[in-house]
Each structure stands twice: as structure tokens, then as C-alpha cells.
């Protein structure tokens, strides 16, 4: 595998190289230059309301449609109508829950997990007001992968949907979505996957995964503050309408996009695909579209594994450190979102002592509150999380490790 050309990568992220080291990427990534270019292009050439008969409005409509198609390429959806766009993943899952509940009966059941971000738990639990029963799929104590037998035991003939994360934003472990999908579908239920912590690291393929719904945040995937939700076409057709009352069931996906998504942000999503194509091409892979996306993410995954290995080796060498989750750096098992705690030290104090070095890491529960609560940590301030993406370097990891070493030998910022 060709090594990732970090000069090329960093040139495409203008925010990099100005003193701040970004290792809180699971909170939000930097934006590729191509995204900002697309954003400007839209605002300066097509900033009108859609749906009118004049030329500029028709152009704007086409551009927003191109943005939707870029998201289709990123997820390998079968058709653009399967792409719902919105402000955040939290809002999109909430919208989905409100659309689906219209087709369910009181007493129907949804399975949520205790290892998801609240975005894929709360909206489903809120359906209790309509008589929907939630059951909880729990991570076994001490494990970083859920047990599919536990899920099988929770499924009943009333189960309508299972909501589960592709990758925990705490553990970084990649869950076996295809196997989960097969189990869920065998029971006649639907699967809603939170791909927020996965999508910045690997090519999402909703068809290969067998997900019925799959959401992620573009602002963590090198794009603008925006999000998208894939829904299989027949499921979207069958879902209820949460937009204007006169929208028909066939108005997919607009019936799930109340008030429309931001047009310029939709168009700027094309910049993420532009960037991935440029990345693939810069490494001698002359492809476009989906093939380029897959090639780019293969390069990304290999580099990320090197970053994970560096930090995990160091953390594993310290008897006073507990890695939260799988200590393996294997790219098939995890993404470089790495959480840990240090004996006798609050997570806040360690992170705050790293801040002055210009390295941005973070502590807390990251809204995966049930998961972090279940860890029974001695401190109330959660885990320390280092979340890399492909534009990070081994040198940055080494600088972080050097600071962690200083703090270990008592040179904390007192
Ligand atoms: C795993 C995961 N799911 C969902 C979300 C929510 O995303 P958004 O901010 O787009 O609502 C986050 C945000 O941190 C996340 O990490």
C-alpha cells in the first residue's frame, strides 16, 4: 500500500499548520479546501430560492441536487431520493423517529443500546409518549464489542427497529453491522445505524452493510456543519410525513426535510468528494466518484493504523493507564479514536495540562453518557479522548506522547 502523502493532504486543509494540533476530530474535523470553494461558488452564483421558473432558480435546484448526489456517492446509496439532508445527525434521527412512529402501534418495540451517542438513543426513547416500548442492548462489562446473542434475546415479534452505532465515539471499535443487519432483518425489523464516528475514517457502503437507515455528520467528515441520513427508498416511501401537511407520501425525501436543508451547505458537500478524488489521483489512482472514494479511504485507513499504533503502544506501556476499549490498532477493528484514563489523575487536569502545548484533546462522556457511566470510573469527568484523522502525523502523536511523559514525571502544569 502506498504511504499517504501528508504534504498533499495538509495542503488541502488550509486550517492546518498554524500552531494548533487537531486531535479532537471526533468532535469536528477541519474542512477541505474544495468544500470552501464549492460553498463560495454556490453563494456567488446561485443564492436564490429553489423551485421558481427563472434560470437562476433552476440552476440552484440542479446544484443542490448535485450536492445530494455527492452524498449518495459517499454512502453508495442506490438513488438520490434515499439521501435526506439536515443540520445535524441528532436532528435527522429525531426527524426519522417522528416519521416512523406514524406507522407503528402502541406496544411496538425499539431496541436501543447503552453504547451509542445520545443522538441515536434519545429520539427513540422519546417515543414512549406514543406507547412505543424501548429495550436496551447493553455492552457486556469489560467488552468493547457487543454480543449478538444478547441482541437476539431482546428481539420479539413486536420489534420494529434496532438503533445501533457503527463505531462508538469512545471505543473507536467497528461494530459488525452486516451481521447485526442480518439478525434484525430475519426478525422483520429495521436497522438504524449511527455512522458519525465511522464515516471520517472508512468508505461507508450502505448497500453492503444492509442498513435501512444510516446517518452521519459531514462536519466531522471534512465538510461543512451539515448532516445526512440515508434511508432505503421503500422505507422512506412507507414512512410518515413530518413536513407540510399537504406533502404526499411519495414526496421522498422532502417529506423528511421540514423547512429544507441549507442549500449552500448541501452543494459544498461535493467538495468532500472532490477532495477524496484529488487524494486518490495524487496517489496514482486515476478514478472518479465512488471508486475514488473507496481508494482514498483505503489510503486513509492505512495511515490511521500507524497513528493508532503509535499512541496505543505508548499507552499500553504505562501501568497507570487504562485504555478504554480494544488495545489493538488493527484497521479492521478500530478507527483512531482512542480513550483512556490515568490512575490517580482526573481526566480534566490531564487534558488542561496538555492544552498549553497547542495540542487539542478532550475529556468527558462525549454524550455517550450511558456507556461512560457504565464504566464506573473513579472520576466524574469521564475519559480522555484523542481522536485522530488522516491529516494528523506521527510527529503530532509523538509530541502528545512527549507531553504525557512529562506529566507522568510530575511536570504537570501546577
Ligand atoms: C457517535 C456520534 N453520534 C452522533 C453525534 C451527533 O452528531 P450531531 O452533532 O451531528 O448531532 C455525535 C457527535 O459528537 C457522535 O460522536
- pLDDT at residue 412 greater than cutoff 90: no
Read off the pLDDT of residues 99-122 as tens digits, 9 standing for 90 and up: 999 999 999 999 999 999 999 999
Please tell me the residue having the least CA distance from ligand 1 atom 13. 27
For residue 92, the ligand 1 atom closest to its alpha carbon is 11
How many whole angstroms separate alpha carbon 86 and alpha carbon 412? 43
pLDDT at residue 409, as a whole number: 79
Out of 325-334, 352-361, 377-386, least confident range: 377-386
How many whole angstroms separate alpha carbon 230 and alpha carbon 41? 26
How many whole angstroms separate alpha carbon 137 and alpha carbon 148? 9
Express as a percent the part of the chain with pLDDT over 90.
97
How many whole angstroms separate alpha carbon 365 and alpha carbon 311? 20
Delineate the domains of the chain, giving CATH numbers in brackets: 6-32+302-406 (3.90.1150.10), 35-272 (3.40.640.10)
User: Can you list the pairs that 344-350 forms with residues at least 24 positions away whose Cβ atoms lie under 8 Å?
Assistant: 344/320, 346/379, 346/381, 347/379, 347/381, 347/382, 347/383, 347/384, 348/379, 348/381, 349/412, 350/384, 350/404, 350/407, 350/412
**Contact at 8 Å (CB) between 194 and 89?**
yes
- pLDDT at residue 413 greater than cutoff 50: no
Please tell me the residue having the least CA distance from ligand 1 atom 9. 88
* Three-state secondary-structure class, residue 191: strand
Q: How confident is the model at residue 411 (pLDDT cuts 50, 70, 90)?
A: low
How many whole angstroms separate alpha carbon 384 and alpha carbon 338? 8
Read off the pLDDT of residues 291-336 as tens digits, 9 standing for 90 and up: 999 999 999 999 999 999 999 999 999 999 999 999 999 999 999 9
| CB 119 less than 6 A from any atom of ligand 1 | yes
How many whole angstroms separate alpha carbon 193 and alpha carbon 58? 34
**Contact at 8 Å (CB) between 220 and 227?**
no
| CB 29 less than 6 A from any atom of ligand 1 | no
Read off the pLDDT of residues 44-94 as tens digits, 9 standing for 90 and up: 999 999 999 999 999 999 999 999 999 999 999 999 999 999 999 999 999
| CB 167 less than 6 A from any atom of ligand 1 | no
| CB 197 less than 6 A from any atom of ligand 1 | yes
Amino acid at each position: 500500500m502506498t504511504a499517504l502523502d501528508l504534504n498533499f493532504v495538509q495542503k488541502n486543509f488550509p486550517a492546518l499548520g498554524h500552531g494548533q494540533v487537531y486531535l479532537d476530530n471526533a468532535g469536528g474535523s477541519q474542512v477541505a479546501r474544495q468544500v470552501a470553494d464549492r460553498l463560495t461558488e454556490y453563494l456567488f452564483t446561485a443564492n436564490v430560492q429553489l423551485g421558481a421558473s427563472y434560470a437562476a432558480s433552476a440552476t440552484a435546484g440542479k446544484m443542490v441536487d448535485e450536492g445530494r448526489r455527492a452524498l449518495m456517492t459517499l454512502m453508495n446509496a442506490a438513488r438520490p431520493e434515499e439521501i435526506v439532508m439536515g443540520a445535524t445527525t441528532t436532528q435527522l434521527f429525531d426527524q426519522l423517529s417522528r416519521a416512523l412512529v406514524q406507522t407503528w402501534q402502541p406496544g411496538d418495540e425499539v431496541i436501543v443500546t447503552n453504547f451509542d451517542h445520545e443522538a441515536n438513543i434519545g429520539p427513540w426513547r422519546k417515543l414512549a409518549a406514543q406507547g412505543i416500548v424501548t429495550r436496551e442492548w447493553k455492552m457486556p462489562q469489560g467488552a468493547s464489542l457487543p454480543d449478538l446473542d444478547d441482541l437476539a434475546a431482546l428481539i420479539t415479534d413486536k420489534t420494529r427497529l434496532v438503533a445501533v452505532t457503527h463505531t462508538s465515539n469512545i471505543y473507536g471499535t467497528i461494530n459488525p453491522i452486516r451481521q447485526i443487519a442480518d439478525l434484525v432483518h430475519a426478525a422483520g425489523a429495521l436497522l438504524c445505524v449511527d455512522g458519525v464516528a465511522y464515516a471520517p475514517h472508512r468508505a461507508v457502503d450502505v448497500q453492503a452493510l444492509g442498513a435501512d437507515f444510516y446517518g452521519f455528520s459531514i462536519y466531522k467528515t471534512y465538510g461543512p456543519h451539515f448532516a445526512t441520513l440515508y434511508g432505503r427508498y421503500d422505507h422512506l416511501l412507507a414512512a410518515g410525513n413530518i413536513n407540510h401537511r399537504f406533502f404526499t407520501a411519495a414526496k421522498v425525501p422532502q417529506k423528511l426535510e421540514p423547512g429544507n436543508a441549507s442549500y449552500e451547505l448541501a452543494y459544498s458537500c461535493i467538495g468532500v468528494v472532490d477532495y477524496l478524488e484529488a487524494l486518490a489521483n495524487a496517489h496514482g489512482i486515476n478514478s472518479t466518484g465512488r471508486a475514488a472514494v473507496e481508494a482514498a479511504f483505503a489510503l486513509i485507513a492505512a495511515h490511521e493504523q500507524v497513528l493508532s499504533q503509535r499512541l496505543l503502544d505508548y499507552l499500553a506501556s504505562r501501568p497507570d493507564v487504562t485504555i478504554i476499549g480494544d488495545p489493538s490498532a488493527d484497521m479492521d477493528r478500530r478507527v483512531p479514536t482512542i480513550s483512556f484514563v490515568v490512575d490517580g489523575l482526573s481526566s480534566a487536569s490531564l487534558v488542561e495540562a496538555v492544552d498549553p502545548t497547542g495540542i487539542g484533546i478532550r475529556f468527558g462522556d462525549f454524550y455517550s453518557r450511558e456507556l461512560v457511566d457504565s464504566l464506573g470510573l473513579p472520576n466524574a469527568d469521564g475519559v480522555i479522548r484523542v481522536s485522530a484523522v488522516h491529516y494528523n502525523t506521527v510527529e503530532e502523536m509523538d509530541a502528545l506522547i512527549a507531553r504525557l511523559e512529562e506529566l507522568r514525571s510530575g511536570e504537570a502544569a501546577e
